[in-house]
């Protein structure tokens, strides 16, 4: 597992900063966003420090697949409603122009009754 000393998400993964965890396994941590843009707003971060999608190599493809593959389970654990009446949104911001604020690859899972604030 690769970490970066100044990264807030690496500190959350290490337990140095508290978070409200939703899911954790050997490769991923999911926790509630501190500034939610929806009634349910969870961040899914790999435990390996990857700056963003531009830093993804072939060695990370399986990890990205796990992140997306776990989205439905994590959304349900966080409180998103299942089925056509429920659902959730998945967003990965990439780089400054893409709205990335924390430079550790992460996926937003957002759901809950609409409307949500812009985000």
Diameter over CA atoms, the chain: 42
**14: Cα separation from own chain's centroid:** 16
Distance CA 81, CA 87 (A): 6
72 near 33, Cβ under 8 Å? no
Question: How many Cβ atoms from other residues are within 10 Å of residue 6's Cβ?
Answer: 7
In the annotation, is 61 catalytic?
A: no
117 near 94, Cβ under 8 Å? no
- Determine the angle formed by the axes of helices 61-69 and 71-78, rounding to 10 degrees: 40
Q: Which of 49, 104, 106, 108 is catalytic?
A: 106
Q: Which residues belong to the active site?
A: 106
């Amino acid at each position: 597992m690769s970490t970066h000393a100044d990264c807030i998400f690496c500190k959350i993964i290490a337990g140095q900063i508290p978070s409200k965890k939703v899911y954790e396994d050997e490769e991923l941590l999911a926790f509630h966003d501190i500034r939610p843009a929806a009634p349910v707003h969870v961040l899914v971060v790999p435990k390996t420090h990857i700056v963003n999608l531009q830093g993804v190599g072939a060695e990370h493809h399986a990890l990205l697949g796990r992140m997306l593959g776990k989205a439905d389970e994590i959304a349900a654990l966080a409180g998103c409603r299942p089925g056509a009446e429920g659902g959730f949104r998945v967003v990965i911001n990439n780089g400054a122009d893409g709205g990335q604020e924390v430079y550790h690859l992460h996926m937003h899972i957002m759901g809950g009754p609409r409307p949500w604030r812009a985000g």
